[in-house]
Structure 1
């Protein structure tokens, strides 16, 4: 049902008018009824007020007479008035005390309230007892009343008149009026709706034609379609305006088509690397115009960035690596710029290492040249010494060879000497035996000599005896005396010869004993000689063996000297080669220094490249952080809100550096850890801003913060290297 109503404008107009008529009629009836009711009640209140005032005055006048019968009659007549539902005069407590009666003091709250406030009250009620209007009015004592009400003062409430007037008849009259108005409104509304339906149908028929025209326009996508509606009303004007608008759209589309064609052409040129063109045509569509302007701004911005990159690369190509590209660029181009800056920084560090290495190489080449000269001189001196040594070795070799030959001959002679010593020892033994036999024979000779000596002694005694006897015999005994004398001489001579022989024998014995001792000594000497000769022979053998070993050693020494001579000659040649190489190295180092000096680079790089591993590690960390940032940027196009995976390489590297023996201040470690945390936090905030599709200004600001955090990390890594080199130089 709702779809049928909302499908067509005529239906919506009819339903809207019907609803409007219904609401207006209902509103009119309601307002009229309310107004009539309000006016009726107001009139009733006004009439009742007048009636109440009249009745009050009548009752008051009657009460002033002081006649109870008249007062009761006046009250009863008032109750008989049409519309009066109830009339009660509530007496005050003072009046009841002054004029006692069967009437009780009222308990009605509203009346009691009027006694207290001395203010009249009008109360409208509509309940099961009917619709009524209750008017409560106090009777205030005046000076006249005090004559009859002596126990009250002027201004006190003598009593309260409670008048209730029924509004049921008024309600019935109003109900009849509402019914009449509703019926008349319904009849007029139906007549109006019929007329409206006819008029709306007739008026909205061109809308169907307008709809068909729009439908054809949508289905055919032909911008040349016009609405052919013959109507002089607003719909006809709308059709004319639409046709005029379509003419303007067609003109705008042609104009936009030119812009789009130019944009397509420039985008193609831009994709081919030409960022010098702008879209100059003006678009009719403001969105296309805005897109064109933003495209021109993008091309201009990219061109400016590329010009700065080209300028930087041209400086790098001119070996000016100290050129610093200062530009606030972020996003993917920011990564490109950071990469180029990193190339310049790393190249500066490489050139600084080349410069340092060239200087060190130049200094070392000078030292090496001096060393090669000393080596060449030393080699020449060693060669001359080796020649002399070789000659001496040859002499020593000849001497040792002669010694070896002599030791062999000495060994033979010693062997012969041993044989001779043994023969001498045998002969000495035989001599000793002979000496022993001589001693024995000498002893026999001594014994014989003693016998001869005894015989000579006895012969001498006999000769003496014979002389004595010859003397005794006298002349006869003279011849015998002569014989006795000769015998005595012979005995003396024999004794003398025996003494001489004895002396000779004793001497011979002594000599024999000495010979025996000598022969014993000779035997002992020959024994010792044999032992010494054996020892000497062994020594000679040892000397011979040693001489042979020495000869072999000397030969080896000779060979070694020959090899050493060759080595010295080779060293001489090597020294010449080293001299040549050092000359080349010196030339190369000079070339390196010249190359490095001709290329301008960041001078502070010289102070932070002492540790190649540290330079290499920090370069890898920087590239790794750039890769992390580019990886996050690569996911921003999906507008997803994802948790970035934190890169732990910097943190792990800092942990390893802290555990190593490198001279690194802990403040650098702490600061880099904080910057690393802040860098990843800022990246996460960038992802969240991107996923929320916030304004580009917020996204650009956060991307700029990311670049600043990354630049701070790079700067602190450079300062860390500089501090490490400074500490190592202490």
Structure 2
């Protein structure tokens, strides 16, 4: 009977029962005063029993509700329901609870379907699908909000992958000038887009370098082909000329051999002539000595004639004296006068003879003097002849020696010409090979030019590819910063507190900036922009980590992440501008600088050497290691 009453009704029965029992007690007390105590105790007892019964029925319903809650709490099964017995408020609560559980059961079923759908979508995502969606509708609002957020993220991921696929397809079809937006995404996905930009710029630079060098190689190959053809023709002509030269030199050799023999004979004759000249000189010396003797003898004759003249003069004086004496003596002296006359006649004849001898002696002296002068002149002439003969002999000997040396030289020339003829034949064969090789190089260069012509790249790449090492270095430094950002973002899921990232002076780009800070191309505005944007990247990464670990709002984190991507892109652009400035500086220093690779050095062709050399890698660290960040 009490089970059909509500708790309020049961609780109302207690005071009603108490009043009823008090009235009965009062009636009993009025009728039977002596049983007043018993009646009072009985009334209190009945009241307590009645209250206990009502409380027990209330507690029974509460216990059943408590037991139902314990069963529900100890199990994840939402199919359990509370037993409903009676019509009190607890039963109403139980009914409401059962209704709520039925609602939860419906929500749980929907949530279970949504969770199963999420698991399936997650499996599809794990193998690379981002075009899938969670189609089940969750029962709980929170899970439904998560599903909608998950689907929204999948949609954005799909857009990003479509954009990445578009860019990759363009790169795969040699379009390295493809345009795409890099600041739209942040985080690792933004890093991927930034890396794609770096990839397109890097490959575009290579293709620009390939195009420039391909064109120059094509021109050089054409020149090489023409030169090799000319070389082949000239080598063949040279081979024919060498054969004729060899024949002429052989004939010249025989002539030189005959001349050498004649020169030897002339040297022998010259030596004999010199001997005869020496003999003539000896005879001339004897003649000169004889002429000197004749001159001395003539002088002696003159001296003797002078004595005779003196004697004739004295005799004549004596005859004059004798005539005077004879005249003085008279007749006695006539005979003496005759003798004196005869003596004077004899003296006169002696004087005349002496005069004639004197004249003859003077004439002989004159002739002997002339003969002596002629002999001396002849001696001088013979000396000159002897000297000339000696000189002639020496010259003839020198000619003979020279002829022998010339003969040896001609023999060497013969050997050299024979070897040269052989080498010329080999060179002619090599020239033909070079001609074929140049044709192959021309074909390869044409293929290289055609390949470069079929690619599309940004034309500004041609203005920054003059320094190969700098191109490799800056391209590596670009990707270093993408990895720097991604590595720090990757630590967010592991670290529970903020950390200090590498500052802008300690990373590879910072070290590169410090190493090249004194270069002339580091004085322009693009270098200042590089310093500013580079510092911003490091500062923004540090700010993102600090805000994320301090519970920053998602929209705030998204703003900082996009600023990081924007500054990273600006770092890329600043590095490109710095390379352009470096190339402009090179063009000002060397206006005619050629950046193309020409023929290999092992081809024996005289050609102008290019100022451009094959790129040398300046990397001393493993590109796959990013420990500096």
Q: Same fold (TM over 0.5)?
A: yes
Q: Which residue of 1 aligns with 2:97?
A: 242
Shift of the 360–248 alpha-carbon distance from structure 1 to 2, 3 Å rule, reads same
How far apart, in 2, do the equivalents of 1:278 and 1:521 lie? 137
**1:276 aligned to 2:131?**
yes
**1:596 aligned to 2:452?**
yes
1:367, distance to aligned residue in structure 2 (A): 4.1
Shift of the 440–714 alpha-carbon distance from structure 1 to 2, 3 Å rule, reads closer
How far apart, in 2, do the equivalents of 1:687 and 1:395 lie? 96
Shift of the 204–659 alpha-carbon distance from structure 1 to 2, 3 Å rule, reads same
Q: Which residue of 2 aligns with 1:426?
A: 282
1:559, distance to aligned residue in structure 2 (A): 5.1
Higher relative contact order by CA 8 Å / sep ≥ 6: 1 or 2?
Answer: 2
**1:652 aligned to 2:511?**
yes
**1:318 aligned to 2:173?**
yes
Shift of the 552–212 alpha-carbon distance from structure 1 to 2, 3 Å rule, reads farther
Shift of the 531–208 alpha-carbon distance from structure 1 to 2, 3 Å rule, reads farther
Alignment map for 1:142-221 (pairs within 5 Å): 203-204=58-59, 206-221=61-76
Q: Structure 1 length normalisation: TM-score?
A: 0.59
**1:262 aligned to 2:117?**
yes
Match among 696, 701, 706 for residue 554 of structure 2: 696
How far apart, in 2, do the equivalents of 1:193 and 1:403 lie? 169
Tell me whether 702-711 or 299-308 shows the greater mean CA deviation: 299-308
Q: Which residue of 2 aligns with 1:611?
A: 467
Q: Which residue of 2 aligns with 1:679?
A: 537
How far apart, in 2, do the equivalents of 1:508 and 1:203 lie? 200
**1:288 aligned to 2:143?**
yes
Q: Which residue of 2 aligns with 1:106?
A: none
**1:668 aligned to 2:523?**
no
**Cα contact 2:235–2:424 (8 A) shared by 1:** yes
1:355, distance to aligned residue in structure 2 (A): 1.8
In structure 1, runs of 5+ residues without a counterpart are: 1-191, 458-487
Q: Secondary structure at the match of 2:475?
A: helix
Q: Which residue of 1 aligns with 2:339?
A: none
The number of aligned residues is 513
How far apart, in 1, do the equivalents of 2:362 and 2:248 lie? 66
Q: Secondary structure at the match of 1:329?
A: coil
1:677, distance to aligned residue in structure 2 (A): 1.1
Match among 477, 493, 503 for residue 621 of structure 1: 477
Match among 299, 302, 311 for residue 154 of structure 2: 299
Q: Secondary structure at the match of 1:433?
A: helix
Q: Which residue of 2 aligns with 1:59?
A: none
How far apart, in 2, do the equivalents of 1:599 and 1:360 lie? 17
Shift of the 388–449 alpha-carbon distance from structure 1 to 2, 3 Å rule, reads farther
**1:340 aligned to 2:196?**
yes
1:684, distance to aligned residue in structure 2 (A): 1.3
Shift of the 528–277 alpha-carbon distance from structure 1 to 2, 3 Å rule, reads same
**Cα contact 2:225–2:442 (8 A) shared by 1:** no
1:405, distance to aligned residue in structure 2 (A): 4.4
**Cα contact 1:608–1:725 (8 A) shared by 2:** yes
Alignment map for 1:266-665 (pairs within 5 Å): 266-326=121-181, 328-369=184-225, 371-372=227-228, 404-439=260-295, 510-527=366-383, 529-530=385-386, 533-534=389-390, 537-553=393-409, 555-556=411-412, 576-638=432-494, 639-647=496-504, 648-661=507-520, 663=521
Q: Which residue of 1 aligns with 2:7?
A: none
Q: Which residue of 2 aligns with 1:150?
A: none
1:579, distance to aligned residue in structure 2 (A): 4.6
1:218, distance to aligned residue in structure 2 (A): 3.9
Decide which structure has greater strand share.
1
1:673, distance to aligned residue in structure 2 (A): 0.4
1:600, distance to aligned residue in structure 2 (A): 2.4
How far apart, in 1, do the equivalents of 2:103 and 2:118 lie? 22
**Cα contact 1:654–1:669 (8 A) shared by 2:** no
Deviation string 1:320-372 (CA, Å, 9 cap, x unpaired) is 22221236122111112222222222222222222222222233334445555
**Cα contact 1:456–1:495 (8 A) shared by 2:** yes
How far apart, in 2, do the equivalents of 1:582 and 1:292 lie? 67
How far apart, in 1, do the equivalents of 2:254 and 2:355 lie? 68
Match among 686, 697, 705 for residue 563 of structure 2: 705
1:701, distance to aligned residue in structure 2 (A): 1.8
Shift of the 536–709 alpha-carbon distance from structure 1 to 2, 3 Å rule, reads same
Shift of the 447–720 alpha-carbon distance from structure 1 to 2, 3 Å rule, reads closer
Deviation string 1:210-245 (CA, Å, 9 cap, x unpaired) is 444444444454544444475643333333433443
Tell me whether 431-440 or 420-429 shows the greater mean CA deviation: 431-440
In structure 2, runs of 5+ residues without a counterpart are: 1-46, 314-344, 589-629
Tell me whether 254-263 or 539-548 shows the greater mean CA deviation: 539-548
Shift of the 651–548 alpha-carbon distance from structure 1 to 2, 3 Å rule, reads farther
How far apart, in 1, do the equivalents of 2:53 and 2:371 lie? 192
1:285, distance to aligned residue in structure 2 (A): 2.7
Deviation string 1:265-315 (CA, Å, 9 cap, x unpaired) is 222222222333222122223333233323322322222211221122222
How far apart, in 2, do the equivalents of 1:549 and 1:206 lie? 143
**Alignment RMSD:** 4.7
How far apart, in 2, do the equivalents of 1:708 and 1:499 lie? 145
How far apart, in 1, do the equivalents of 2:80 and 2:374 lie? 167
Q: Structure 2 length normalisation: TM-score?
A: 0.67
1:517, distance to aligned residue in structure 2 (A): 3.9
Shift of the 540–660 alpha-carbon distance from structure 1 to 2, 3 Å rule, reads farther
How far apart, in 2, do the equivalents of 1:722 and 1:656 lie? 18
Tell me whether 324-333 or 381-390 shows the greater mean CA deviation: 381-390
Tell me whether 224-233 or 439-448 shows the greater mean CA deviation: 439-448
**Cα contact 2:204–2:458 (8 A) shared by 1:** yes
Shift of the 254–581 alpha-carbon distance from structure 1 to 2, 3 Å rule, reads same
**Cα contact 2:228–2:435 (8 A) shared by 1:** yes
